[in-house]
Amino acid sequence: MPITLEQVRRFLGRTLQDPYGRAFGKVVGISANLRDEVTGVGIEEGNGEFLQCPGDRVTITGDTLVLAPAWKVEAEEFRKEFDIVTRRLRALDELFSVGDIQKDVYEDLRKQHEDAINELKGKRKEIIDTLSQRTSTLNTQLRQLQTHLAGNKMLHASGEFDDMNYKAASDAIDSGLVRAMAEKKDVESIFGYLQKLDGAQAPPPAQQPQPIASIPQPTSTTTSSTRDPVLVLHVRET
């Protein structure tokens, strides 16, 4: 369900986050259509750069405005579309197999849904490529954070970092590790789902129901009646 301007306007000028708790930037503008549905959100990223995001990436969680990553929105849309088209194809085949749909209508509807599956195959590949790039980025971030954490521990143990600054840095790194690992888990989950669909295609068309052949009934045959034997009596004279 689209989010409305009435729901979002209180976040104007406030910071929004991604689903993993990272501060993303500040809301500096909100666009809405005549139905009051949010169509876009303007964001100042904190470094002087501005970004315009579609309204379907924005949700409200508690008292926080959350901006979902583009890959997550695209993957969820793909999952819904693929589920719908496959369920419709199964239903269509079942109806045709029992003779509830005429052949020409069945073939037209089936072609429409087969074309939709072919389009989804292209979308699936694009999402997989995006997820692969994001996984690589997250792995780099995790490695960098772990390296900084180890270096800070060494310098703190050697007395070169004081306790207060070391703790502040460690807390920030720990939060970064948790958030990056949470996102990586989501990415891997969706990636695994999409990989399972490798080679997925529409099931073969259902066979048209064949009329039941009538079972031949045994024909009754009349047998010719045999003539009763003739009894011959011989009378003997005395």
Element of type H or E holding 64: strand 64-67
Weakest-pLDDT range from 68-77, 86-95, 178-187, 204-213: 204-213
Q: For residue 40, give the 3-state DSSP assignment.
A: strand
Q: Distance between CA atoms of 50 and 38, rounded to whole angstroms?
A: 18
Would you state the pLDDT for residue 222? 46
Beta bridge partners of 37: 4
Residue 32 per-residue DSSP state: E
DSSP-derived pairing of the beta strands 23-32 and 15-17: antiparallel
pLDDT band for 169, please (50, 70, 90 cuts).
very high
Residue 200 has pLDDT above 70, yes or no: no
Angle at 183 between CA 168 and CA 14, to 5 degrees: 65
Q: How many helices (H) and strands (E) does the chain have?
A: 4, 6
Q: Is the pLDDT of residue 81 over 50?
A: yes
pTM for the model stands at 0.78
**Reported confidence tier of residue 2, pLDDT bands at 50, 70, 90:** confident
pLDDT at 203: 60
